[in-house]
Homo-oligomer: A and B are copies of this chain.
Amino acid sequence: MQIASTQQLSPPPRLRRGALRVTPLGGLGEIGRNMTVFEHEGKLLVVDCGVLFPEDHQPGVDVILPDFASLRERLGDVVGIVLTHGHEDHIGGVPYLLRERRDIPVIGSRLTLAFVEAKLKEHRITPSTVHVEAGDTHTAGPFGLEFVAVNHSIPDGLAVAIRTAAGLVLHTGDFKMDQFPLDDRITDLRHFARLGEEGVDLFLTDSTNAEVPGFTMSEQELSPAIDQVFATAPRRIIVSSFASHVHRIQQILDAAHAHGRKVGFVGRSMVRNMGIARDLGYLTVPRGLVVDAQKLESMPDDKVTLICTGSQGEPMAALARMANGDHQIRLTEGDTVLLASSLIPGNETAIYGLINKLTDRGARVVHKGNAKVHVSGHASAGELVYCYNIVRPRNVMPVHGESKHLRANAELAIRTGVPADRVVIARDGVVVDLVDGTATIVGAVQADYIYVDGQTVGHADEQTLDERRALRDNGVLTVVAIVDVPGARLAEPLEFVGKGVAVSPETLQGVTRDVEQALAKAPRQALEDVDSLDDLVRKAVDRSLRRKTRQGPVVIAVVVEA
Contact = CB atoms under 8 A, between A and B. Distances in A.
Nearest to A560: B560
A314 interface: no
A554 interface: yes
Contact of A403 (B6, B356, B501, B502): B356
A541 to B, nearest CB: 14
Interface residues of A, number: 69
A467 interface: yes
A421 interface: no
Contacts of A501: 464
Contact of A551 (B57, B456, B469): B456
23 contacts: A60-B474, A60-B475, A60-B500, A211-B369, A213-B370, A345-B349, A348-B349, A352-B404, A356-B402, A357-B403, A453-B502, A455-B548, A455-B551, A459-B502, A459-B504, A461-B502, A464-B475, A467-B499, A468-B471, A470-B499, A471-B476, A471-B499, A478-B478
Interface in A7-63: 29, 55-57, 59-60
Contact of A359 (B56, B403, B467, B560): B403
A3 interface: yes
A197 interface: no
A60 B549 contact: no
Contact of A475 (B471, B474, B495): B471
A414 interface: no
A345 B468 CA distance: 24
A324 to B, nearest CB: 13
Contacts of A204: none
A124 interface: no
Interface string A344-380: 0110110010011101111001000110000000000
Interface of A: 3, 5-6, 29, 55-57, 59-60, 211, 213, 333, 345-346, 348-349, 352, 355-357, 359-362, 365, 369-370, 402-404, 407, 451, 453-456, 459-461, 464-465, 467-476, 478, 480, 495, 497, 499-504, 548-551, 554, 556, 558, 560
A456 B549 contact: yes
Contacts of A459: 502-504
Contact of A402 (B352, B451, B464, B480): B352
A471 B456 contact: no
A72 B502 CA distance: 22
A476 B454 contact: no
Contacts of A460: 502
Contacts of A213: 370
A537 to B, nearest CB: 13
A257 B495 CA distance: 63
Closest 6 CB pairs of A and B: A472-B472, A454-B550, A460-B502, A468-B500, A471-B471, A467-B500
Contacts of A468: 471-475, 499-500
Given A333-B6, A365-B404, A454-B549, A499 B370 contact: no
Contacts of A456: 502-504, 549, 551
Nearest to A60: B473
Given A352-B402, A464-B475, A472-B60, A499 B554 contact: yes
Nearest to A411: B364
Nearest to A504: B459
Contacts of A6: 333, 360-362
B59 A407 contact: no
Contacts of A5: 360
A503 B60 CA distance: 14
Given A345-B352, A468-B471, A455 B556 contact: no
Nearest to A5: B360
B556 A478 contact: yes
Contact of A454 (B57, B211, B551, B558): B551
Contacts of A556: 476, 478, 497, 499, 556
A56 B454 contact: no
Contacts of A474: 60, 468
A502 B470 CA distance: 15
A333 to B, nearest CB: 7
Contact of A476 (B333, B465, B476): B476
Contacts of A352: 345-346, 402, 404
Nearest to A553: B60
Contacts of A499: 467-468, 470-471, 476, 554, 556
A241 B359 CA distance: 32
A503 B362 CA distance: 45
Contacts of A465: 500
